């Protein structure tokens, strides 16, 4: 079990999040070529030295915004109201719904769009999804308590998060929560896609 975070841990997390959030907002406003690290620290209210304690470059800070966001929800909420016979897929479905809010989905799509425009961000796409997948695996391992074979949680999380990538890069016509139907005439809703994906996983392809 992970130790309870101390006040120092919480302050460090808040600092990293503030810097990452400022970097992301500047990237959206000015593009990756339109700002430097000094702009990030000025916007967030910290020193350049503080930035260097957390990130090696502005690209890493932009990517960290999503990694931080994905870990801010209370994982204990996942296990509330799950029936005694709940499967790892049930737990993963609940995690996905908790993790991928409409705001997070929209901002994550913006990040992918930025990465498509600026090559310096491309290497960080994989790290973002890898961190999301690892977080899911950790939750599943906590949920299963070793009841399944080694590698099961890795395969399960990999399948779900891998199926999510084509939504963000535009290869699949799926509406994110909050988007209007007239913007995507032939699109299916995110909930429809999510339910279809989990149906395949439960019943087979």
**Placement of tokens 């070529």 in the chain:** 33
pLDDT digits (tens, 9 = 90+) for 120-135: 998 888 788 888 888 8
Task: From 173, 57, 66, select the one nearest 129 (Cα to Cα).
Answer: 66
Percentage of residues in the chain having pLDDT higher than 90: 30
Q: Enter the pTM of the model.
A: 0.76
pLDDT of residue 183: 59
Domain ranges of the chain: 1-62, 73-203
pLDDT digits (tens, 9 = 90+) for 39-90: 999 999 999 999 999 999 999 999 998 776 655 555 566 677 788 888 889 9
As a whole number, the mean pLDDT across the chain is: 85
**Placement of tokens 């939750």 in the chain:** 139
**Placement of tokens 């906590």 in the chain:** 142
Of residues 106 and 35, more confidence is placed in 35
Structure tokens at 19: 């810097």
Q: What are phi and psi of 189, to 5 degrees?
A: -75, 160
pLDDT of residue 184: 56
Flag the least confident range among 16-20, 72-76, 103-107, 183-187: 72-76
Query: What is the number of H-type helices and E-type strands within the chain?
Result: 9, 2
> Is residue 23 within 8 Å of 65, Cβ to Cβ?
yes
In this model, does residue 166 exceed pLDDT 90? no
pLDDT of residue 167: 81
Flag the least confident range among 111-115, 151-155, 185-189: 185-189
Identify the band that residue 17 occupies on the pLDDT scale cut at 50, 70 and 90: very high
User: Residue 145 has what DSSP assignment?
Assistant: T
In this model, does residue 96 exceed pLDDT 50? yes
pLDDT of residue 1: 47
Q: What is the dihedral of CA 159, 175, 78, 20, to 10 degrees?
A: 90
Out of 3.90.230.10, 3.40.718.10, 1.10.10.60, 3.30.830.10, select the CATH number for domain 1-62: 1.10.10.60
Contacts of 162 (CB under 8 A, 6+ apart): none
């Amino acid at each position: 079990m992970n130790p309870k975070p101390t006040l120092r841990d919480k302050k460090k997390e808040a600092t990293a999040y503030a810097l990452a959030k400022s970097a992301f907002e500047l990237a959206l406003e000015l593009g990756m070529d339109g700002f430097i690290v000094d702009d990030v620290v000025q916007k967030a209210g910290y020193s350049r030295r503080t930035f260097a304690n957390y990130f090696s470059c502005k690209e890493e800070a932009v990517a960290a915004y999503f990694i931080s966001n994905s870990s801010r929800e209370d994982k204990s909420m996942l296990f509330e109201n799950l029936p005694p016979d709940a499967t790892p897929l049930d737990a993963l479905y609940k995690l996905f719904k908790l993790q991928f809010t409409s705001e997070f989905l929209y901002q994550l799509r913006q990040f992918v769009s930025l990465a498509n425009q600026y090559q310096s961000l491309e290497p960080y796409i994989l790290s973002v999804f890898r961190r999301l997948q690892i977080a899911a695996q950790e939750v599943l391992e906590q949920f299963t308590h070793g009841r399944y074979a080694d590698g099961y949680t890795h395969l399960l999380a990999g399948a779900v998060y891998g199926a999510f990538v084509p939504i963000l890069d535009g290869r699949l016509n799926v509406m994110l929560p909050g988007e209007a139907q007239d913007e995507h005439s032939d699109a299916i809703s995110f909930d429809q896609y999510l339910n279809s994906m989990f149906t395949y996983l439960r019943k087979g392809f």
